[in-house]
A and B are shown apart, each in its own frame.
Chain A
Amino acid sequence: MPTGAADRALESLRATRVWKSVFRRGPALTNRTRSLAVFGNLFLHFLPVKVREKSLRVRATYYLGSITFLLFVVLSVTGVLLMFYYHPAVPQAYRDLKDLRFVVSNGVFLRNLHRLAAHLMVVTVFWHMFHVFYRGGYKPPHEFNWVVGVVLLLLTLFLSYTGYLLPWDQLAFWAITVGTNIISAMPVIGGRVRYLALGGNQVGENALLRFYVLHCVVLPLVAVLLIAVHFWRVQKDGGLTVKEEDGGK
């Protein structure tokens, strides 16, 4: 009976020099080591060391911000995997999608995950914003973080929109054609902006490549940066807004 085998294995792992060199702290059993666990870790240090118990309640946030971020993580992982089988070229892009569907192991599953998570992220990012608004989360000292949030919302839309073209099917092509035609309605510069966005006068190979680079490199980088700022500012602006009606003891 491997009683506590996992614990013991973990124990001996923690005793190794390698583990210690990486984590540089003992087991997170005291508040000190727990604090170290947060601010000694690049990823966790965007979070405060302590949070209000009330803000952990599901009804306080519905974890909308977290879920949005986690969707971003899911999208990054599945997106990078999909990139291994994707060529941003006409009409190879479409054939790659077919191959993902028909011959690549779990290819269709990954694509479904990516697509679904992308739609869901647009939903949760809006929902998150509305929720924050109704809770008054934008009020000082959170003004700037609200603005960062609005920019992140726009980034999410752009990410989703640029990804929409990549399958190069009828749905993608015409959605992008319709969408970019709206840009040309801009007075004076509209046509120019569309020309720049598409790299031409119509949705073609240049547009596909541009959207691909934006979708896979530029926008994710900016988003990662702003997400970091967003988390950071939650902590620096004094944690989540807690309201009386959140209940608790």
Chain B
Amino acid sequence: MAENKKIETGFSSDVLKDPKRIVFVTKKTSAKVTGDAGRQVMTFPHLVLREAIAFQILVIAIVLVSLLWDAPLEQLANPLLTPNPAKAPWYFLGLQELLHYFPPFVAGILIPTLVVIALVGIPYFNINIHGGPLWAKRRTSQLRMVLIVLSLLMIFLAIFLAWTVFVPSAAIAFLLLYSYSVPASQTGWRGFLRSRTVSWWVMTWFIAVAITLTLVGTFFRGPGWEWEWPWVSHGG
């Protein structure tokens, strides 16, 4: 790319029969064409048919589950009768679990808002776009940085006794530090970890925490938001 302006053109003898994309690449073009993206096929019928099959498999699956599982319907809403615990829909139970540890403003407003802002912002930060593997360069200073951030996070979580957040965070932190010790030549899952970027680690941490909190909130919280094993029915 850096050498001469090179223009590649492709054409077909019968454009109507077999249209091909014409790409015009200059230095300023944002779309990077790296290598051959492979052959192209017609959307109709190739993609449409696959979508149709996907739809059928999906419907078959949910129909079968629907036949076996009935959507819950409890008693008529009664504002005078609070169930214990009163739980939000499952996808908000992670938040409800956070509310157990942090003040409502932090857990209910600040954290979700920050998450949304972070998600929206992902494609607009170079570290997420060009960032190479975390342990590729300047390993020592990177490690120092990582250790500082990790200790701050862990201390913060420990202060609030948010151990259902602490545990998945610690697990990811362990993997992160472990991957530092993996030699560059390593292949397999170790090598995979070794070559991960910062954004990968952050997202993985977020997913791990979110899934843990949701699972805990859904299955492991009983009356009074006390810890409860799902297989031990409460009340004898």
Asked if A174 and B203 sit within 8 Å, CB to CB, the answer is no
Contact yes or no, A49 B74, CB < 8 A: no
Of the listed stretches A6-14, A182-190, A222-230, chain B binds A182-190
Contact of B58 among A49, A67, A154 (CB under 8 A): A67
Question: Are B41 and A170 in touch, CB under 8 angstroms?
Answer: no
Known A-B contacts A31-B17, A32-B16; A182 and B99 likewise in contact (beta carbons under 8 Å):
yes
A47 to B103, CA, bound (A): 46
Kindly supply a per-residue 1/0 record for chain B positions 92-132, scoring 1 wherever the CB is within 8 Å of any chain A CB and 0 otherwise: 10011001000111001100000010011011100011000
Residues of A within 8 A of B71 (CB): 108, 111-112, 114-116
Decide if A47 touches B86 in the complex (CB within 8 Å): no
Say if the beta carbon of A133 comes within 8 Å of chain B.
yes
Q: Is the CB of B42 within 8 A of A35?
A: yes
Which residue from chain A places its CB closest to the CB of B104 in the assembled complex?
A: A185
Partner of A154 from the list B38, B42, B116 (CB cut-off 8 Å) is B116
Residues of chain B lying within 8 A (CB to CB) of residue A56: 41, 46-47, 50
Assess whether B159 is interfacial by the CB under 8 Å rule: no
Q: Which residue of the partner chain A has the closest CB to B197?
A: A136
Contact A113–B63 (Cβ < 8 Å): yes
Residue B66 at the chain A interface, CB threshold 8 Å: yes
Annotate B185-217 by CB proximity to A: 1 below 8 A, 0 otherwise: 000000000000000100100010000000000
User: Is the beta-carbon distance between B200 and A134 smaller than 8 angstroms?
Assistant: yes
B120 touches A147 (CB 8 A): yes
The answer to whether A242 and B122 have CB atoms under 8 Å apart is no
Taking the nearest CB of chain B, how far is it from the CB of A233, in angstroms? 12
How many A residues, CB 8 Å from partner? 89
Q: Which of A130, A160, A173 contacts B79 (CB 8 A)?
A: A173
Q: Flag whether A76 is at the interface (Cβ < 8 A).
A: no
A50 touches B19 (CB 8 A): yes
B37-48: CB near A (< 8 Å → 1, else 0) gives 111111111111
Cβ B83 vs Cβ A170 within 8 A:
yes
Interface assignment of A164: CB less than 8 Å from any CB of chain B? yes
B66, A113: Cβ atoms closer than 8 Å: yes
Q: Is B145 an interface residue (CB 8 A)?
A: no
Residues of A within 8 A of B200 (CB): 134
Write the chain A residue with the least CB distance to B113.
A186
Among B42, B51, B63, residue most surrounded by chain A Cβ atoms (within 10 Å): B42
Choice from A73, A108, A138, A175 contacting B88 with Cβ under 8 Å: A175
Number of residues of chain B lying within 8 A (CB) of chain A: 70
Cβ of B67 within 8 Å of any chain A Cβ, yes or no, is yes
- Closest-CB distance, B37 to chain A (whole angstroms): 5
Is B109 within 8 A of A28, CB to CB?
no
How far, in whole Å, are A170 and B83 apart by their CA atoms in the complex?
A: 8
Docked complex Cα distance between A248 and B67 (Å): 39
CA distance A139 to B43 in the complex (A): 24
Cα A97 to Cα B41 with chains together (Å): 47
Chain A residues near B (Cβ < 8 Å):
28, 30-32, 34-35, 37-38, 44, 47-54, 56, 63, 66-67, 70-71, 73-74, 90-91, 94, 97-98, 101, 108-109, 111-117, 119-120, 122, 129-130, 133-134, 138-143, 146-147, 150, 153-154, 157, 160-161, 164, 167-175, 177-179, 182-187, 190, 202-203, 238-239, 242, 244, 248-249
Name 27 A/B residue pairs within 8 A (Cβ), A-sorted. Answer: A31-B18, A32-B17, A34-B44, A44-B48, A49-B43, A50-B40, A51-B41, A51-B43, A52-B39, A53-B39, A54-B37, A74-B62, A91-B76, A101-B73, A108-B71, A116-B65, A130-B203, A141-B30, A146-B122, A168-B77, A169-B77, A170-B77, A170-B78, A174-B82, A182-B108, A203-B79, A239-B37
The 6 closest A-B pairs by CB, nearest first: A185-B104, A173-B77, A143-B123, A112-B66, A182-B108, A115-B71
